[in-house]
Structures are given as C-alpha cells and as structure tokens.
Amino acid sequence: MTAAANGVLLMTKIVAIANQKGGVGKTTTCVNLAASLAAMQKRVLIADSDPQGNATMASGINKFNLECSLCQVLLDGADINDALITETNGAYHLIPANEELSAAEVKLLDYLVREFRLKNALDEIKDNYDYIFIDCPPSLNLLTVNAMCAADSILVPLQCEYFALEGLTLLIDTVDQLARAVNPNLKIEGILRTMFDNRNRLSADVSQDLKNSFGDLVYKTIIPRNVRLAEAPSFGKPAMYYDKSSVGSKAYLALAGEILEKDLIEAKTKAEVAVESSAH
C-alpha cells in the first residue's frame, strides 16, 4: 500500500535511526520525528530495538508492564500484531521493548537467517504505514544489524563534537559492508546535527566539516540543545505534546517537513524516469 501526495505515490519508508555512540539524540530524534510526521497526517510506526526501552517510555508506555514486546517477536516468532500498541502519547503506533531484549543479542546467534528476523516481522505490517522508524541501540550489535537489514535507509543523529566524524566514518563503513552482504538497497538517509550549541566554536567547525564532507546528506535542519527536549521523555511525551512552543519541538517539525519535501521530490523523479522508460 502507498500514500499519495500531490498525485505522486510514496512507498512505505523504513528508516533505522543509528549511531554506535550513545547520548547523541537517537531516541529523542525517533520519538519527536515520528510525532511530527504523525501530526502531519502520516501513518507512523516506531519499532523500539533498544533494550533500554527509552523510546517505549518516551511514548507514554510502561516498559515494565508489557505482555508482548519486540523480544517475543524476534525470539519466539510471536505475531507482531500482538506486540503492536496503537495508542501512544505521540499519536504513532509502537512495537515496544524492554530489558528482555538484551537476551536477544545472544540468543539470536543460534538462529538461521538471524539478521532478517526484524525484517520478516515488519514485512507483515509495513504496508499499513508511511514511515517506520527503528530506534537502534548505541552499538553495532546483532539488533542493529537486524534493523539495518530491515531498513531502506539510515538516519544518523550526530552531536557536533571532536570525535563525531571518526564515529561517522566507522558507521558508514559498516553500512557499506551490510549493503554488499545482505541489503543492497541500504543507504544513508541523512545526517542530523543534534544538541547544537551555536555559542560553541567547535560545534560550528564540526558542522562545517560535515557539510564539506557529506554535502546534501546533511539535513538543513539543526536540532538545538534544548531543555524541553530533555525534559519531555520523563513525562512520557514527545516535545510537541509537552511544550509545542519550544525551539526543540519546532526544530523536529521543521525536520519532518524537510524529509517530506525530499521524499516527494525523489518520488516525482522516479515516476518521471518510469514514464520515460515505458515510452521507449
């Protein structure tokens, strides 16, 4: 199933939000981008693939009281619909997670086609959504590999600090290896500058280095360091439902708009190419 925008068909897009470094805003980006797109009438699902379960808690769902979670889907072959939560504080759907998922990192090693457990599960329901975001753990483990095998692309939140570019290079190398081995369509969706402090000279320098090195892959939208963004998860809400007037909330709405515009342009280009090909 597809969603139409201005007469152009947009296919379901599955995006893994990943960076092997912790504390760069992966979960913050996941829940706030999902909520922003849902507010724009898009059908959005988050799959929480981090045993910390932060995306689950930030959506207003108690991770300690789950009857079925991503762990049971990956390890026991539970129906993904049994884990699906359709009412969250972000108006998106959620496949929740908690610390039980830590066991999956080890137990999945015993499974055949272990890299595709998440992809096969999401294939059951992906046509119901315009966007599916996978919140990855802060490491390049088997859960992250599952996410990258399931995804069309990877969104990389990046704090503009000294070691950021080094970590990004490592992640891109991993993406290239996975693309060659198991998911030839995998690509970098975009690089998002997070927790940005425009008073910090180093932040500005790293930001410029990113743009020089990666060009259009770097989103125009910059997510500022913002107290409201940091506070919102403790209330179980995305920032736009905690303080919609905050600069953090507005930044993620701007990012959602930028992504929608980019996806529409790509879809139009593909449609035009398809028409030209059929004409020859």
Mean pLDDT to the nearest integer, 223-246: 96
Instruction: Please report the pLDDT score of residue 201 as a whole number.
Output: 87
> Quick one: how far is CA 85 from the chain centroid?
18
CATH level 3 topology of 3-279: Rossmann fold (3.40.50)
CA distance linking residue 260 with residue 270, whole number of Å = 15
Give domain limits for the chain.
Answer: 3-279
Residue 107 has pLDDT above 80, yes or no: yes
Instruction: Please report the pLDDT score of residue 9 as a whole number.
Output: 60
Instruction: Please report the pLDDT score of residue 167 as a whole number.
Output: 82
Instruction: Please report the pLDDT score of residue 8 as a whole number.
Output: 57
Helix spans in the chain (H): 26-39, 54-58, 70-76, 80-83, 101-107, 117-123, 142-150, 164-181, 201-214, 227-231, 239-242, 247-279
pLDDT band at 253; cut points 50, 70, 90: very high
Summary mean pLDDT of the chain: 92
Residue 103 has pLDDT above 80, yes or no: yes
Residue 79 has pLDDT above 70, yes or no: yes
Instruction: Please report the pLDDT score of residue 23 as a whole number.
Output: 85
Q: Which amino acid is at 76?
A: D
- Name residues whose C-beta falls within 8 Å of residue 8's C-beta, 6 or more positions apart in sequence: 264, 267, 268, 271
Instruction: Please report the pLDDT score of residue 214 as a whole number.
Output: 92
Percent of the chain scoring above 90 in pLDDT: 73
- Render pLDDT for 36-67 as a digit per residue (tens, 0 to 9): 999 999 999 999 999 999 999 999 999 999 99
The pTM for the full model equals 0.94
